[in-house]
C-alpha cells in the first residue's frame, strides 16, 4: 500500500488526527484578515467592469509594426481617451473607449479611418464593436439575480437535506468565497466580464460540493450522538474532517491543475487575454472553496451546535468521563509506585542490617577510625549489588544462623 493510501486509511480510522476544529480561532482570524483586505479593496479601489457591463466601443487592428502608444494618440487627439489600450494575440492592438455619443453617428467612422491611417492598414482591417450601456446594465442585473436565486435555492436545499445550521454554515462559507474572489479581482485590477460571472457560479458549485461531502460525513458521525457517546460534537466533526481530508485535497489538486494551465500558460505565456478573466476567478475560487469547506464551514457548524442544550450536556458528560478515566489512571500509577517504593525501602533496611553484621567493627577486627572503616561505608552504598550477593555469602557461613549477631 502506498504511503498516501496508508495515511488515508489511518485518518479514516482515527489513528491519525489533525485538530482542525480545536484550532478554529486561528482559522477565523486568517479568514477575517482576508475578508477585511478584500472589503477595503472593493470599497476604495472598486472593480473594473468590462465593456459588456458598462457599455462602450472596441477597436481592433493589426499593429503593422506600430506600438500601443501610436494607437492611443489617435484617440486622445480625437477627444476620446481610451480606457484600455493593449496588444493581444499575434500583433493585434485593442483599444477600448467609453460609449460614443450616438448623436454623432459618423464619429465612429472617423476614428476607424484615423486609426487605419496611423497604423498603415486598410480601414476594413480595423474591426469595431459597440455595446450600449442599456445592454450592459441588463447583463449586470441578470447576473445579480442569478446569484441571489442560486443562494436562496442553496439554503433551501441544504436545510431540507441536512439541517438549518448546516445550511447557514455553508451559506457563510460561500459568502466568504465570493468576497475574497471579488477582492482579488479588485487588487489585481482585472476586468470583470461575463466569463468572470460564469466562473464565479462554477466555483460556488464546486465549493458547495466539497462542503456537502464533509457535512454528509459529519451527519453520519454525529447520528445518535447525544444518547451516550464518548465524543463531543466537535470531536466527531473533527473526525469527519480527517476522514474526508485526503479526498478534498485530491479533488482540489485535480481541479486546480487545468485551471492553472489556463491562467499561467494560456493567459500568461501565450497572451490569450480572453482567458485570464475566466481562469483567475476559477483559480482563486477553487482554492477558497477547498479552504472554506475545511477551515470555515465545519468549525462554524460546531460553534452553532455546541450551543444547543443537548450538546452542552453531552460535552459535560464526556468531560466528566474523561476526568474519571484520568483519575483512575493516576491512582493506578500511584498504587504501583507505592508498592515499588515499599520494596525499595525494605531492601535498603535489610542491607543496612547486613552491613552491620558483616562489618569488621562488628567482627571486632577493626576500630571505627581505622582504614577498614571507609571500606565498610563504601560497601554500604553499593546496596543492590551487595543485596544480590548477600544470600550466597550468608549461606556459606556454617554454624551461624542468619539474622543473629555472633557474640
Say which CATH class 3-49+140-307 falls into. mainly alpha
Q: What is the mean pLDDT of residues 393-398?
A: 44
Higher pLDDT, residue 283 or 102: 283
Mean pLDDT of the chain: 76
Range of weakest confidence among 23-32, 180-189, 197-206, 323-332: 323-332
How do the domains of the chain map onto residue ranges?
A: 3-49+140-307, 56-131, 319-395
Cβ proximity of 387 and 346 under 8 Å? no
Q: What is the mean pLDDT of residues 142-155?
A: 83
Record the cell numbers describing residue 167, joined without a space.
445550511
Position 391 scores a pLDDT of 44
Could you report the per-residue pLDDT of 21-74, keeping only the tens digit for each?
989 999 999 999 999 999 999 999 888 888 877 778 888 888 888 888 888 888
| Distance, CA of 332 to CA of 344 (rounded, Å) | 19
Q: What is the mean pLDDT of residues 85-90?
A: 76
| Distance, CA of 380 to CA of 157 (rounded, Å) | 82
Higher pLDDT, residue 190 or 305: 305
Cβ proximity of 169 and 304 under 8 Å? yes
Position 151 scores a pLDDT of 82
| Distance, CA of 164 to CA of 304 (rounded, Å) | 11
Could you report the per-residue pLDDT of 376-388, keeping only the tens digit for each?
333 444 444 444 4
DSSP of 197-240, one letter per residue? Answer: HHHHHHHHHHHHHHHHHHHHHHHHHHTTGGGT-SS-HHHHHHHH
CA 8 and chain centroid, separation: 17
Could you report the per-residue pLDDT of 221-231, keeping only the tens digit for each?
888 776 666 78
Range of weakest confidence among 3-17, 94-108, 112-126: 3-17
In this prediction, what percent of the chain has a pLDDT beyond 90?
12
Cβ proximity of 349 and 267 under 8 Å? no
Range of weakest confidence among 50-59, 275-284, 294-303, 389-398: 389-398
Position 271 scores a pLDDT of 61
Residue 136 — very low, low, confident or very high, per pLDDT cuts 50/70/90? low
Q: What is the mean pLDDT of residues 150-176?
A: 89
pTM recorded for the entire structure: 0.68
| Distance, CA of 150 to CA of 207 (rounded, Å) | 13
Position 352 scores a pLDDT of 42
CATH 3.40.50.2300 fits domain 56-131: no
Position 337 scores a pLDDT of 54
Could you report the per-residue pLDDT of 312-350, keeping only the tens digit for each?
888 888 888 877 777 777 777 666 655 444 444 334 344
Higher pLDDT, residue 21 or 373: 21
Amino acid at each position: 500500500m502506498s504511503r498516501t493510501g496508508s495515511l488515508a486509511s489511518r485518518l479514516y480510522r482515527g489513528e491519525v488526527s489533525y485538530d482542525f476544529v480545536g484550532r478554529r480561532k486561528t482559522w477565523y482570524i486568517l479568514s477575517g484578515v482576508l475578508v477585511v483586505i478584500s472589503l477595503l479593496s472593493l470599497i476604495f479601489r472598486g472593480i473594473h467592469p468590462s465593456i459588456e457591463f458598462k457599455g462602450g466601443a472596441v477597436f481592433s487592428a493589426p499593429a503593422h509594426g506600430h506600438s500601443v502608444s501610436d494607437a492611443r494618440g489617435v484617440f486622445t487627439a480625437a477627444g476620446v481617451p481610451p480606457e484600455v489600450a493593449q496588444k493581444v494575440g499575434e500583433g493585434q492592438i485593442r483599444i477600448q473607449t467609453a460609449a460614443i455619443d450616438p448623436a454623432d453617428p459618423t464619429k465612429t467612422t472617423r476614428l476607424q479611418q484615423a486609426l487605419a491611417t496611423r497604423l498603415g492598414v486598410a480601414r476594413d482591417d480595423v474591426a469595431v464593436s459597440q455595446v450600449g450601456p442599456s445592454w450592459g446594465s441588463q447583463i449586470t442585473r441578470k447576473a445579480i439575480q442569478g446569484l441571489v436565486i442560486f443562494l436562496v435555492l442553496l439554503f433551501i436545499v441544504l436545510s431540507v437535506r441536512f439541517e438549518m445550521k448546516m445550511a447557514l454554515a455553508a451559506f457563510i462559507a460561500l459568502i466568504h468565497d465570493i468576497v475574497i474572489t471579488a477582492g482579488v479581482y479588485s487588487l489585481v485590477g482585472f476586468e470583470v466580464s461575463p466569463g468572470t460571472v460564469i466562473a464565479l457560479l462554477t466555483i460556488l458549485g464546486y465549493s458547495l460540493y466539497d462542503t456537502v461531502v464533509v457535512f454528509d460525513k459529519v451527519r453520519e458521525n454525529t447520528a445518535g450522538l447525544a444518547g451516550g457517546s464518548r465524543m463531543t460534537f466537535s470531536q466527531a466533526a473533527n473526525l469527519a474532517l480527517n476522514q474526508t481530508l485526503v479526498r478534498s485535497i485530491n479533488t482540489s489538486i485535480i481541479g486546480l491543475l487545468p485551471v492553472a494551465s489556463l491562467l499561467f500558460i494560456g493567459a500568461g505565456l501565450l497572451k490569450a487575454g480572453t482567458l485570464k478573466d475566466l481562469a483567475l476567478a476559477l483559480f482563486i475560487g477553487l482554492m477558497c472553496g477547498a479552504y472554506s469547506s475545511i477551515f470555515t464551514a465545519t468549525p462554524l457548524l460546531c460553534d452553532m451546535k455546541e450551543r444547543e442544550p443537548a450538546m452542552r450536556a453531552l460535552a459535560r458528560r464526556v468531560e466528566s468521563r474523561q476526568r474519571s478515566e484520568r483519575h483512575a489512571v493516576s491512582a493506578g500509577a500511584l498504587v504501583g509506585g507505592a508498592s515499588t517504593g515499599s520494596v525499595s525501602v525494605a531492601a535498603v533496611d535489610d542491607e543496612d542490617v547486613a552491613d552491620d553484621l558483616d562489618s569488621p567493627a562488628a567482627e571486632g577486627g577493626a576500630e571505627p577510625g581505622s582504614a577498614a572503616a571507609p571500606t565498610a561505608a563504601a560497601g554500604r552504598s553499593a546496596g543492590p549489588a551487595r543485596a544480590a550477593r548477600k544470600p550466597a555469602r550468608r549461606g556459606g557461613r556454617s554454624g551461624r544462623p542468619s539474622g543473629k549477631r555472633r557474640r
